[in-house]
């Protein structure tokens, strides 16, 4: 694919994810509670006097890697869902 097209796709996906994330936080109280808990735990780790700097660094690296993998999974599932939708619409004869 063309580099510009890939950049546009990436921007469009990022926007869709942000909108979906905001919508989820509004519509699902449990999701909002999890987001708040996550932020509180992150702050507690950063401010902890019992966790050493090396351990904090390792935890940060783990969380960053985990978030990156989650992002890649979400992107993959979103694109695969769109492909599956098109395939189903073709099978139903809605599109060619």
Q: Give me the mean pLDDT over the 11-32 stretch.
A: 92
Question: Helices marked H in the chain — which ranges?
Answer: 3-27, 29-47, 53-91
Backbone angles phi, psi at 7, to 5 degrees: -65, -45
Tens digits of residue pLDDT in 41-88: 999 999 999 999 999 999 999 999 999 999 899 889 988 999 999 999
- The pLDDT confidence band at residue 1, using thresholds 50, 70 and 90, is low
Asked whether the beta carbons of 38 and 27 are under 8 A apart, the reply is: no
Q: Which residues contact 26 (CB under 8 A, 6 or more apart)?
A: 32
Please indicate, yes or no, whether the overall pTM of this predicted structure exceeds 0.85.
no
Q: Is 26 a residue whose pLDDT tops 90?
A: yes
Q: Where are the domains of the chain?
A: 1-47, 53-96
d(CA 19, CA 6): 20
């Amino acid at each position: 694919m063309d580099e510009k097209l890939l950049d546009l796709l990436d921007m469009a996906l990022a926007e869709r994810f942000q909108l979906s994330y905001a919508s989820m936080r509004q519509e699902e109280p449990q999701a909002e509670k999890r987001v708040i808990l996550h932020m509180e735990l992150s702050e507690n780790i950063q401010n902890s006097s019992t966790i050493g700097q090396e351990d904090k660094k390792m935890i940060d690296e783990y969380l960053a890697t985990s978030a990156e993998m989650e992002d890649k999974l979400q992107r993959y599932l979103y694109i695969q869902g769109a492909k599956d939708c098109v395939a189903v619409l073709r099978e139903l004869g809605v599109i060619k």
